[in-house]
Structure 1
């Protein structure tokens, strides 16, 4: 989502309430004044905003942006990619569907520059993918990326729920001088960032194109029937395992238990043609 947690009328969005509820382990919607406040639930002065039970709060889909020239498929499965020097950075948040509800099992593939503004095109330094938990949450440990000519500070990410389209976008840092000159920069993709004892902590919530009905739990997604082959949902595949799907052979890149929606053509981080 964008970095705003309020509606056009100044109310906290229902999604922000749900995010706080998930983090606190309580049912939602509910008044959450007694739980630790998240960055997006506070005004600039640190005072909790009034809550609203309405879901019609302008929760638009997260804005897509260009992939850029440095994306590489088959990144390692990991949530920590502190591969070199730099200011430590933790990025955390949730992935929501169209009904403001968290989505589990979402693939997030991150890549970024090192402290000097360079991308590793030979290996997988500062590259990695992970999946959201049952509560739709994710957490990335990395460093604050460096700058390079023509761009402001940013992190790339691809986001895909099972059986749904891929969202490719970029996350930005507030109060960066180059935000004003970077032609790609969009304030709707700003993270909420704060200092944390020599490190930095950032928060961002994605809203992706997953149809949902109102309710307390995520709605499962569906895909079309498999077109034939040896791949099957519910199986544990080891790295190097070979399957066929739709007449094409694939090699497993990361050990995992397959689920509907993660068919080999849909998840290049897990399978490659071979």
Structure 2
């Protein structure tokens, strides 16, 4: 058994098609099929359900796949750790991030780039449920998601900040001159919102429910950019975390009014699988997470009414 056989199996499970899996691995389809058969022979179990096309994995194959992902994660982590010992360390991290936390990611990535200038990142927008799944499948190195509301079951977590909400609307909106707005008041206006599969939407809905004013969004989207575009077009408002002010504040012709009654807020943090030894890049990311909120506020000069994080 060798590492390439495991990579081919993982690609096949991901692509669910022999030819596409072969193309993803830059080999011919007969080569990929042959190496998977070799793996079956060596392990003494049938891994793939075969016919004229791919039909899935056997129960034994599913267990082999889980082990393959873990073995490859450790193998790739070892290679990356050794690469970090060089004079000009290089590497790449893949992060799954809930959409509402996207504005905060550059603070973390810049902290790592200050330390390792040649390190690259792949930032994927994911729901909290996708982050949990992809951590288990070893397809992301870490996630940024909610820690205290439908928390992801991961080996280790590090809090980043407590999320606070604002109502984003155009500068000529009837509510634009308000210093604060209650959730009940906001519910009476035309709203756009994230789709219900997003945990951020479920948290916002719960705040409206607590205020006795269930929202009825006119438009739903899984894109924060789409929500802000509708708010900027006039007539609509959307509820988003306050950190979006750093990206879409006055320069975009928008106001961001703090929401009160109730004072909703949940902890967003870094999640990763517990590993020993901890990969060097993940260890550096954790160090950046420890001083995250202070670093973010220094970088943007952005005050917040959010309560201090619990230790």
Higher alpha-carbon Rg: 2
Larger helix proportion of the pair: 2
TM-score when scaled to structure 1? 0.24
